[in-house]
């Protein structure tokens, strides 16, 4: 059984910086704030699950659970 990962490396679309964030196990975040340039960014398309699925190196926990079931 694959463990659900709760850490992600976010990529800021404004300045390109990368930073680590802990993802919540429940709920979806539609925006985030860069720890370097303070830009607030979010999902651009209703097809996007959440800000983690759009701007990080891994899917959010909800998407990871869904992928495991498929």
Whether 34 contacts 17, CB under 8 Å: yes
Whether 27 contacts 8, CB under 8 Å: no
How many separate domains does the chain show? 1
Residue that wins the pLDDT comparison between 1 and 29? 29
On the question of pLDDT at 70 being above 80, the answer is no
Cα distances from 55 to residues 9, 49, 70, in angstroms, run 8, 11, 23
The whole-model pTM stands at: 0.87
Tokens for 9, please give them: 């490396």
Residue numbers of the domain that contains 59: 7-63
Closest by Cα among 55, 49, 59 to 6: 59
- Is 68 inside a domain boundary? no
Q: What is the pLDDT of residues 10-58, one digit of tens each?
A: 999 999 999 999 999 988 899 999 999 999 999 987 788 899 999 999 9
Report pLDDT for 26: 86
Q: Which residues contact 29 (CB under 8 A, 6 or more apart)?
A: 50, 51, 52, 60
């Amino acid at each position: 059984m694959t463990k659900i990962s709760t850490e992600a490396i976010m990529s800021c679309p404004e300045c390109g910086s990368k930073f680590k964030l802990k993802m919540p196990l429940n709920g979806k975040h539609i925006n985030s704030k860069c720890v370097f340039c303070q830009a607030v960014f979010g999902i651009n398309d209703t097809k996007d699950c959440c800000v983690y699925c759009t701007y990080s190196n891994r899917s959010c926990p909800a998407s990871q659970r869904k992928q495991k079931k498929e």
